[in-house]
Amino acid sequence: MKNNIRVERAIKNITQAELAELIGVSRQTINTIESNRYVPSTILALKIARVFGKPLEEVFILEEGD
Amino acid sequence: MKTRFLFPYWCKYLGIVCFVVHIPVVLFQKQLGFDFSEASKAAGFWGSYHLFYMVTTLLMLTGLVLFAFSKEKIEDEQIAQLRMDSLQWAVYLSYILLIISLALTTNKTDAKDIMHLNVWVPLVIFIVLFRWKMFRNSRYTKEDAI
C-alpha cells in the first residue's frame, strides 16, 4: 500500500508534527506511515483522510500484490 | 486503538528510582547491617534475610516492571505494535537462552542460578529491544525531517 500523505501535507502546508498533533499520534508514527514502514489501522487512516478533507482512497492506494 | 493495562507515564521515573535505589543496598549490605546467618534465615518475614530480599530483588523487579510497562509520552497504535513485537522477541530470546543454558548445565546449583537469572532476564531483553526500536524510529524521523 502506498500513500500520498507527503503530497497532501505539502498542499495543505502542514508539517509532520502538526499532522501528528491534529490526529493525536507521535511524529514518528506519521513518519513511518509516510515512508511505508508502518500500515496504519483503519481508524487512523480515516482520521488522516479527514484532516485532508479527501476520501480514503485518494490518500491511501492499494498496490499490486497487496 | 487504545493500549490498555499500562502504567501512567510518570511510573517510568518511579521505576528508574526503584532500580537505582536497590544498587547501593546490594553494594553496602554489610555496612547497612544486614545479617545472613542461619538464625536470621529462620526469623521468617521480619528477619534480616527476608528484609534484604524484599529491598533488593523485589525493588529491582518492581522498578523493571514499572519502567517496561509504563506509557510513552504520546502513546499510539504504532508504539503499541512495537511494544508487542519487542515482547514477543524478548520471550523467544529468553527462552532460547534458558533452554540452551539448561541443556549445557550438569550441575544442580548452576541450574538453580540460571533459574534465578531468569527472574529478570526476559524483562531486561524486552526493555533493551523496545528502547532500541523506539530510538531507531526517532532517528529515522530526524534523518527524514522536513
pLDDT in tens, B3-18: 678 999 999 999 999 9
Distance, in Å, from the CA atom of B130 to the CA atom of B127, rounded to the nearest integer, reads 5
Q: In this predicted model, what pLDDT tens digit does every residue of B91-141 receive, in sequence order?
A: 999 999 999 999 999 888 889 999 989 999 999 999 999 999 999 988 888
The reported pLDDT for the residue numbered B33 is: 75
Percent of chain B scored above 70 by pLDDT?
97
Q: What is the pLDDT of residue B145?
A: 65
Class of domain A2-61: mainly alpha
Specify the higher pLDDT residue, B122 or B40: B122
What are the extents of the domains in chain A?
2-61
Parallel, antiparallel or unpaired: strands A60-61 and A2-3: antiparallel
Q: What are the angstrom distances between the C-alpha of B10 and each of A27, B20, B71?
A: 21, 16, 8
Distance (Å, rounded) from C-alpha B102 to C-alpha B111? 6
Instruction: Quote the pTM value.
Output: 0.86
Q: For residue B3, what pLDDT is reported?
A: 66
Residue numbers of chain A with a pLDDT score lower than 70: none
Of B1, B81, B141, the CB nearest to A28: B141
Which residue do the cell numbers 502513546 mark?
A: B75
Q: What is the count of residue pairs from A and B with beta carbons less than 8 Å apart?
A: 50
CB contact under 8 A, A29 and B146: no
- Which grid cell sits at B59? 525493588
B143: cell is 534523518
| Distance of residue B17 Cα from the nearest chain A Cα, in angstroms | 26
Residues in chain A whose beta carbon is closer than 8 A to a beta carbon of chain B? Answer: 15-16, 20, 24-29, 31-35, 37-38, 40-41, 43-44
Confidence of residue B2 (pLDDT cuts 50, 70, 90): low
Q: Tell me which DSSP letter residue B44 carries.
A: G
Residue B146 has pLDDT above 60, yes or no: no
Q: What is the pLDDT of residue B48?
A: 79
How would you class B141 by CB atoms within 10 Å of its CB: exposed for 0-12, middle for 13-18, buried for 19 or more?
Answer: buried
Exposure pattern of A16-48 as b/e (b: 16+ CB <10 Å)?
A: beebbeebebbbbbbbbbbeeebebeeebbebb
Residue B25's pLDDT is: 85
Separation between Cα atoms, residue B112 and residue B37, nearest integer Å: 21
